A and B are shown apart, each in its own frame.
Chain A
Amino acid sequence: MADNVVLLDFWPSSYGMRVKIALEEKGITYECRQEDFQAKSSLLLEMNPIHKLIPVLIHNGKPVCESLNVIEYIDEVWNYKPSLLPSDPYKRSQARFWGDYIDKNVYSIRRKVWIGKGKEQEESKKKFIECLKTLEQELGDKPYFGGEEFGYVDVALIPFTSWFYTYEIYGKLNIEEECPKLVTWAKRCMEKESVAKSLPHPHKIYGFAKQYKQRHGLE
């Protein structure tokens, strides 16, 4: 029986991009359905009744929610190479730790970098750069976070880079100057087909952000 895989997505979402990269890495055929946040579909509300958020991976009718959870699920079900998580339990714990760090820090701070104003924005910018520098330190001289191979932490972080241009414009930041190694890593990741296919062009993200701010009277 062929697998039926549907992804409920919203194209500017970094979390949705993570899942797309994972599916592409594994060469999984899937149907991508775009959600409209002004009018969430009944399918989304049925598949993720608790949070009502994307991404949701629906595999043969059964939903898996939370992007990092989905990456692990994909890796466990389609357990052929390339592996997204390492096989060693300690290395897996480290990968999960950094995935969790990214979710706890990057997400909560970044919104205020492009939407915030005044003191709140300044503080968020400072924390955001500190967070990127911590990640840069963890990367070290390795080509990818997991070492020689592209993996879980790279998948977790790379989508946010499609938003860097937007953060730089609204936050008056220069991310390459602050975190040159991270930007080099990002360019390396973008050479992978799975990443290039899954990330929208940064200018498209900026266009979305600009429209969002105008619509909500935040410009």
Chain B
Amino acid sequence: MGSQDVKLLNFLLSPVGRRVEWALKLKGVDYEYIEEDIFNKSNLLLELNPVHKKVPVLVHGQKSMAESLIILEYIDETWKQYPLLPHHPYQRALARFWAKLSDELALGAWRAMVRRGDEREKVLKEAIEVMEKIEQLIKGNKFFGGNNIGYLDLAFGWITCWLPVWEEIGSMQVLDPLKCPSISSWKIHFLNHPIIKDNLPPRDQMISYCHRRIEEFYSTHHAY
């Protein structure tokens, strides 16, 4: 399939957009990458995702689709090599459940970085509790997908590279290596995978981006 056939509209620093890139690369699918400035959204993005106006958007021929976990399922159903989701319906249901929880956790961790005071403490505490449940999930396995990176590893990928930046900026610890040794091991395996390690966002830009978003949040909420 030619690379003109598949296009990915994404933002360099987006953890959810990166999942889609990882999936395409693991499956060996050629694609054209289109960078989107999320602070100055293009007409193309607004046309392709009028409902949410967000990246990532995958375009395959005439078809466009949004929401990273939904895109991952489309990719898995369309390109059968290197299966991402488990085969058995029950395992698939579990994977989808934990992937959704992963996104809720990421949002919680992001909020813990941005917010202050009691609100921050509450969100941080909840995030830590969920992380400890994820530790139980991975126990004994190299990857969430078993021996290979799968859908759930891609869903949790933000923990490896984005979370450490958020923890530093927010002066907080969501992932305690002593309480979560299995997740800590998984991080190393994940980051060392040949496809993943050449496909990570630049740390310095991630830091500037977080500061910018925090500044924006407090400038718009200052009026309260």
Which residues in A have some Cβ–Cβ distance to B below 8 Å?
Answer: 50, 59, 62, 64-66, 69-70, 72-73, 76-77, 89-90, 92-94, 96-97, 100-101, 134
Contact = CB atoms under 8 A, between A and B. Distances in A.
Nearest to B94: A64
A146 to B, nearest CB: 16
Given A64-B90, A66-B97, A100-B70, A90 B65 contact: yes
Contacts of A66: 96-97, 100
Q: Interface SS of chain B: helix, strand, loop or mixed?
A: helix
Given A50-B101, A59-B90, A66-B96, 9 more contacts: A62-B90, A69-B100, A70-B93, A89-B73, A89-B77, A90-B63, A93-B73, A97-B65, A97-B67
B89 interface: yes
A73 B90 contact: yes
Contacts of A76: 89, 92
Contacts of B130: 50
B147 interface: no
B223 interface: no
A3 to B, nearest CB: 13
B185 to A, nearest CB: 23
B133 A100 contact: no
Contacts of B89: 73, 76-77
Interface in B62-76: 63, 65-67, 70-71, 73-74
A169 B177 CA distance: 52
Interface in B92-134: 92-93, 96-97, 100-101, 130, 133
Contacts of A77: 89
B191 to A, nearest CB: 27
A62 B90 CA distance: 8
A103 to B, nearest CB: 9
30 contacts: A50-B101, A50-B130, A64-B93, A65-B97, A66-B96, A66-B97, A69-B93, A69-B97, A70-B93, A72-B96, A73-B89, A73-B92, A73-B93, A76-B92, A89-B74, A89-B77, A89-B78, A90-B63, A92-B74, A93-B71, A93-B74, A94-B65, A96-B67, A96-B70, A96-B73, A97-B66, A97-B67, A97-B70, A100-B67, A100-B70
Contact of A93 (B51, B70, B92, B101): B70
Contacts of B77: 89, 92
A87 to B, nearest CB: 10
Given A69-B93, A93-B70, A101 B51 contact: yes
Nearest to B70: A96
Contacts of A72: 92-93, 96
A134 B51 contact: yes
Interface string B50-90: 01000000001001011100110110011000000000011
A59 B101 CA distance: 22
Nearest to A64: B93
A151 to B, nearest CB: 16
B100 A93 contact: no
Q: Which 9 A-B pairs have the closest CB atoms?
A: A89-B77, A76-B89, A93-B74, A73-B93, A93-B65, A96-B70, A90-B63, A64-B93, A69-B96
Contacts of A64: 90, 93, 97
Contacts of A94: 65
Contacts of A59: 90
Contacts of B97: 64-66, 69
B43 to A, nearest CB: 20
A1 B92 CA distance: 23
Contacts of A92: 73-74, 77
Contacts of B96: 66, 69, 72
Contacts of A96: 67, 70, 73
Interface in B1-50: none
A97 to B, nearest CB: 6
A189 to B, nearest CB: 22
A165 to B, nearest CB: 27
Contacts of B51: 101, 134
